[in-house]
Structure 1
Amino acid sequence: MASRKPVNRPSVRHPSHNHPLRVFKAREEDEVVCSGCELELTGQAFKCIKSDCDYFLHKSCFELPRETSHKSHPDHSLTLLHSPPYGESYTCDACGEYGSGFTYNCSECQYDVHVGCAFIPETLEREDHEHPLTLLYNTPCKDREDSAMFTCDVCEEDMSENLWVYYCKDCDYGTHVHSCAVYEDHEPKKSGGEEEEEEEGSSSAVSRMKSLMKAQDELAAVQLECRMKRDANNAILGLYEEPKRRYYW
Structure 2
Amino acid sequence: MDSYEAFECYACKTMFSGFRYKAYRISIDVRCGMFSELESYDFHDHPAVYYNDKKASPRCRACHQRGGMSQHMLSCDDCDFALDFRCFNLPRVVKHKDDEPPLSLCYGEDPNGKYWCDICEGETNPKDWFYTCSHSGVTLHVHCVLGDFSFLMPRRMIKYRRYCKFEVVPNNHCSRPFCACCQSRCIGPFFLKISNPEVIYICSEGCLKEKIIIPFIEVRSTI
TM-score norm. by structure 1 comes to 0.49
The residue aligned with 1:49 is: 78
The residue aligned with 2:46 is: 20
Correspondent of 1:141 among 175, 178, 181: 175
Instruction: State the structure with more CA Rg.
Output: 1
Unaligned runs of 5+ in 2: 1-36
- 1: CA distance, partners of 2:46 / 2:214: 49
Query: 1:40 is aligned with what amino acid?
Result: M
Query: 2:179 is aligned with what amino acid?
Result: C
Query: 1:80 is aligned with what amino acid?
Result: L
- 2: CA distance, partners of 1:11 / 1:190: 43
Paired residues in the alignment total 172
* Structure with the bigger percentage of strand: 2
Unaligned runs of 5+ in 1: 1-9, 143-149, 199-249
For residues 133 and 89 of structure 1, do their structure 2 counterparts lie closer, same or farther at Cα, with a shift above 3 Å needed?
farther
Kept after mapping to 2: 8 A contact 1:35/1:57: yes
Query: 2:130 is aligned with what amino acid?
Result: T
Q: Does 1:102 align with 2:126?
A: no
Kept after mapping to 1: 8 A contact 2:105/2:130: yes
Kept after mapping to 2: 8 A contact 1:94/1:163: no
Kept after mapping to 2: 8 A contact 1:79/1:106: yes
The residue aligned with 2:166 is: 132
Q: Does 1:121 align with 2:147?
A: no
The residue aligned with 2:11 is: none
- 2: CA distance, partners of 1:89 / 1:83: 12
The residue aligned with 2:104 is: 79
For residues 129 and 86 of structure 1, do their structure 2 counterparts lie closer, same or farther at Cα, with a shift above 3 Å needed?
farther
Computed over aligned residues only, the root mean square deviation of the Cα atoms, in angstroms, reads: 4.5
Q: Report matched runs for 1:1-249 at 5 Å.
A: 14-17=41-44, 20-38=46-64, 39-47=68-76, 49-50=78-79, 53=80, 55-59=81-85, 61-62=87-88, 64-68=90-94, 70=95, 72-75=96-99, 76-83=101-108, 87=112, 90-91=116-117, 93=119, 98=124, 100-109=127-136, 110=138, 112-114=140-142, 118=146, 119-123=150-154, 124-125=158-159, 131-137=165-171, 141-142=175-176, 150-155=177-182, 157-159=183-185, 162-168=187-193, 171-181=198-208, 183-185=209-211, 189=215, 194-196=219-221
- 2: CA distance, partners of 1:125 / 1:92: 33
For residues 13 and 131 of structure 1, do their structure 2 counterparts lie closer, same or farther at Cα, with a shift above 3 Å needed?
closer
For residue 191 of structure 1, report the CA deviation from its aligned partner. 10
For residues 64 and 191 of structure 1, do their structure 2 counterparts lie closer, same or farther at Cα, with a shift above 3 Å needed?
closer
- 2: CA distance, partners of 1:184 / 1:120: 21
For residue 41 of structure 1, report the CA deviation from its aligned partner. 4.5
For residues 178 and 187 of structure 1, do their structure 2 counterparts lie closer, same or farther at Cα, with a shift above 3 Å needed?
closer
Query: 2:167 is aligned with what amino acid?
Result: L
For residue 90 of structure 1, report the CA deviation from its aligned partner. 4.7
- 2: CA distance, partners of 1:89 / 1:16: 21
For residues 116 and 135 of structure 1, do their structure 2 counterparts lie closer, same or farther at Cα, with a shift above 3 Å needed?
same
